[in-house]
Structure 1
């Protein structure tokens, strides 16, 4: 992990790293907020949406102040592999910036687009080795495509994460245009394989206890009816006897203005389930 950028922020530090990924076969960047203190800190994984990098949440969500108060680290990976040799598409919803947090099986995507393995295996191992984070206390969240990633990865590893939340997630990618396009390209025509990455299917089929789940949705979201459809996830949860919290926000859209308005609520939600009981002392800087 090579540190390429760092800024003091609310008594903590906002960092950016670069590393070579063996899984993705390219260089990747990762952003990490570290609160004041020595750590290790409970960590929230944040997965961003279509067209985003590891920096969108860092610069737009305004999460660092609350995370610093709670003593929580926030780890933001990129949304896809990058580099000149990585396959891409002219459309915004396929290729670079649109990895969909799956392992591609189809050419030309399969060589590099293995975001599920990267996030479930390689990056957690690197985080445990190089970052002051407590891997026994992890939570996961995300937005839109990243909300899809947070839900599916969280439901596949329910014992890893203390809690799951999502802003405007794609909950049923097998049923909506964004998901159908990406899954056809990355996974092929086998819809049984698609279902392995569908949050509605996973909440109905995953056995055992699940982490607490919070879904946050703006009612003025321009993608709500065609691409998101959180009611499908709520219905799947109810049918399978699972409890989730679905919060609807009148007047709010799909933007980071919406996320910034309610990110503190999500951080408090995760802090509760991560066992964060009090704010850390505020000092003069990092130790």
Structure 2
């Protein structure tokens, strides 16, 4: 693991690291914000943030404006890249597939299967690495994300509740097997058998897993230009059937971008602070 960049930020440090990933079979980067408490060696709660299509490990650190509240709460923030990258890694035909668009699943179809193992990368490899290298309280780890990363946060939380104690999302792709983004990605990465897709669809997973969390928080803008791809109503219906408490907040005039995320970031961090301490 090599330190690529470090910047002082709210008495803590915003860093970027690079390491050779076994899961992705290529070098990968992740960002991490370490509050002052962590720099002093104190064990801290941690949140994984999964970014959306076309983003990198640095997008959240620059655009989300999360460090101030994270510093106040003593949160470590971990931000993986959105896919494997490099000349040897397969490229897609559009921005919604391939590099920058890993969808946080393990691909089984060629040419994606060799490198696109993002579920294993986040939930196993990177998770183990940061818990070993940084002062993280292993019983206080949550996950959240945006858009494609909101899909990833919901599905990984539902698959690995023993690792992630809290979950929230901004404008997540709630039912990817029922929207063009998800249909394209799942066909490329998983194949045409739609029964396989259900294991990577938050709306389907909540029905099979049942209620796992005290609450799930989702914020959704009603002027979101991608609203038809996101299907929050399907996830709400699935939560009702499963008996899972969901706080779904819909906001007039907000779109899909990071100005929207900035507006409600403090709420999400405070939500996780309550959930992780319960």
Structure 1 residue aligned with 2:181: 178
Structure 2 residue aligned with 1:50: 53
Assess if the C-alpha contact under 8 Å between 1:9 and 1:64 holds in 2: yes
Structure 2 residue aligned with 1:2: 2
Assess if the C-alpha contact under 8 Å between 1:162 and 1:211 holds in 2: no
Q: Give the superposition deviation at 1:90.
A: 3.0
Structure 1 residue aligned with 2:234: 232
Q: Following the alignment from structure 1 to structure 2, what is the Cα–Cα distance between the partners of residues 58 and 228?
A: 24
SS in 1 for 2:176: coil
Structure 2 residue aligned with 1:12: 12
Q: Give the superposition deviation at 1:172.
A: 0.4
Structure 1 residue aligned with 2:91: 88
User: Please, which of 259, 265, 268 is the counterpart of residue 267 of structure 2?
Assistant: 265
Q: Following the alignment from structure 2 to structure 1, what is the Cα–Cα distance between the partners of residues 107 and 138?
A: 27
User: Please, which of 133, 136, 141 is the counterpart of residue 133 of structure 1?
Assistant: 136
Assess if the C-alpha contact under 8 Å between 1:49 and 1:144 holds in 2: yes
Q: Following the alignment from structure 1 to structure 2, what is the Cα–Cα distance between the partners of residues 27 and 159?
A: 28
Structure 2 residue aligned with 1:123: 126
User: Please, which of 157, 161, 164 is the counterpart of residue 164 of structure 2?
Assistant: 161
Q: For the aligned residues, what is the CA RMSD?
A: 1.1
The alignment of Structure 1 onto Structure 2 pairs a total of residues equal to 275
CA deviations on 1:150-203 (whole Å, 9 max, x unpaired) are 000001112322211000000000000000000000000111110000000011
CA deviations on 1:65-99 (whole Å, 9 max, x unpaired) are 00000000000000000111000113000000000
Q: Give the superposition deviation at 1:208.
A: 5.8
Which structure has the highest helix share of the two?
Answer: 2
Assess if the C-alpha contact under 8 Å between 1:204 and 1:237 holds in 2: yes
- Consecutive unaligned residues of structure 1, counting only runs of 5 or more, are 277-287
Assess if the C-alpha contact under 8 Å between 2:23 and 2:121 holds in 1: yes
Structure 1 residue aligned with 2:145: 142
Q: Following the alignment from structure 2 to structure 1, what is the Cα–Cα distance between the partners of residues 84 and 136?
A: 24
User: Please, which of 228, 246, 266 is the counterpart of residue 244 of structure 1?
Assistant: 246
SS in 1 for 2:20: strand
The TM-score, its normalising length taken from structure 2, stands at 0.97
Distance 1:18 1:211, change over 3 A: farther
Q: Following the alignment from structure 2 to structure 1, what is the Cα–Cα distance between the partners of residues 212 and 125?
A: 25
The TM-score, its normalising length taken from structure 1, stands at 0.94
Assess if the C-alpha contact under 8 Å between 1:172 and 1:229 holds in 2: yes
Assess if the C-alpha contact under 8 Å between 2:105 and 2:119 holds in 1: yes
- Consecutive unaligned residues of structure 2, counting only runs of 5 or more, are none
Q: Following the alignment from structure 1 to structure 2, what is the Cα–Cα distance between the partners of residues 211 and 19?
A: 35
